[in-house]
Amino acid sequence: MKKATWLLFLALISGKLISQTSSDTLFFRNGSIILGEVKTIKLGVINFDPTDANDISVQLIKLKTISASKVIFRIETTADQVYYGRLIPALKQGFANIVTNRDTVEQEIEKISVLYPFKDAFLERFSGNATLGYTYTRSSKFGRVNFDLSATYLTRKDEMTFGAAGIYSVSDTAFSRDQEDVNFKYNYYLSPTWFLTAFISYQRNLELGISRRYQQGLGAGNKFITTRHIYGWLRTGVAINQQQSTDNVKSGTLTELFGQVQFNFFRFTVPKISLDFSQTFYYSLSQKDRIRNSGQTNLNWELVSDFNLNLGFYNNYDSKPPASAISTFDFGIIFGVSYKF
């Protein structure tokens, strides 16, 4: 009797929501219901915009089921499955039905690792963040400006990422472009976890004696960790680069093998914190015993909606840098405020 009553209730609610496509619905295990808009699911938490109220974050374990049928979502699970569909309520507690263009799949809500609206409009498929920071020492009249910009565009099979970052020194008499990095990366997904990758980049690092370096690479990768709190990627392949030192010596074309490991750690309960870690290693096929490494670690703490306090650490190593290099190893800590879009 109880199951039949719940089935009738869901049918009535679902029918009403289909006719009133402006509202998604969260059904809680304690019997509460909230109308509004599903924004995202990440790391065991759903971000929801209630009608006539501020955004809220709810742990998935508290939900009985979900109704969100007004848009198509991209849904990733902890079992490395990817769906494109809408959510309708399920009879089983803790589950929701994913309705795709082929069939309907019953999915445990707690095992949804990522969910976000998959927009048809070109501009709405973009996401990213922009960071700006500045430090100044009055005694030396010396300041440093840093910026970091990244943007990602997604389709069902393609992922394109653009990144740009720079560190500049400013004084009363001089302006120095200490470090710059501009890159474009393309991933084509063969499956939910395996992908082909290609990239091009420009780099500048005065500490390592590099006036400019142009680099192109091809390879393959695997998204080997997909949980509610951690993502992990591995990439490997071949890269070629052409570099010019700060004393204007050109290297010609150099070939390298590369490997990259990347982790993203998330916590979307208060305080909302994310940690991004990436390290790339290069082994030269053109210069004997030359090994390079570059890495970045960023800690983000959400101050208010879409604005984060950012603390970053970068490291670069070259076992055989140009003769004009100051050191074989470069590292630094940067602070900034970032905006997420």
Range 159-163 average pLDDT: 95
Residues 139, 99 share a domain: no
- Co-location of 75 and 129 in the same domain: no
Give the per-residue pLDDT at 269. 66
Buried b (16+ CB within 10 A) or exposed e, 210-244: bbebebebebebebebbebeebbbebbbebebebb
Asked whether residue 244 falls in the same domain as residue 308, the answer is yes
One domain for residues 56 and 87: yes
Whether residue 175 is found in the same domain as residue 160? yes
If one counts the domains in the chain, the total is 2
Spatial distance between the Cα atoms of 67 and 60, rounded to a whole number of angstroms:
14
Residues 257 and 301 in one domain: yes
Last residue of a domain, one of 117, 140, 172: 117
Are residues 301 and 315 in contact, defined by beta-carbon separation less than 8 angstroms? no
Question: Averaged over 159-173, what is the pLDDT?
Answer: 92
Q: Is the pTM of this model over 0.85?
A: no
Check pLDDT > 90 for residue 128.
Answer: no
- How far the first Cα of the chain sits from its last, in Å, is 48
The predicted-structure confidence for 243-296, as pLDDT tens digits, reads as follows 999 999 999 999 999 999 999 987 766 777 889 999 999 999 999 999 999 999
State which of 62, 96, 117 marks the end of a domain.
Answer: 117
| Residue corresponding to tokens 């007004």 | 70
Distance CA 168, CA 173 (A): 14
Least confident window among 47-51, 199-203, 290-294: 47-51
Q: Given a cut of 90, is residue 55 above it in pLDDT? A: no
Confidence of residue 19 (pLDDT cuts 50, 70, 90): very low
Q: Which amino acid is at 34?
A: I
Here the tokens at position 146 are 């840093």
Of the three residues 117, 135, 155, the one that is the final residue of a domain is 117
Task: Identify the CATH number of the domain in which residue 206 sits.
Answer: 2.40.160.40
For residues 255 and 293, state if they share a domain: yes
State the residue for tokens 């198509």. 72
Same domain, residue pair 105 and 157: no
Owning domain of residue 194: 123-340
Query: Of 76-90, 217-231, 251-265, where does the model show the most confidence?
Result: 251-265
Residues 179 and 227 in one domain: yes
Same domain, 101 and 206: no
What's the confidence (pLDDT) of residue 122? 64
| Mean pLDDT along residues 69-84 | 89
Both 186 and 280 in a single domain?
yes
Do residues 179 and 250 share a domain? yes
Per-residue confidence (pLDDT) for residue 315, from 0 to 100: 95
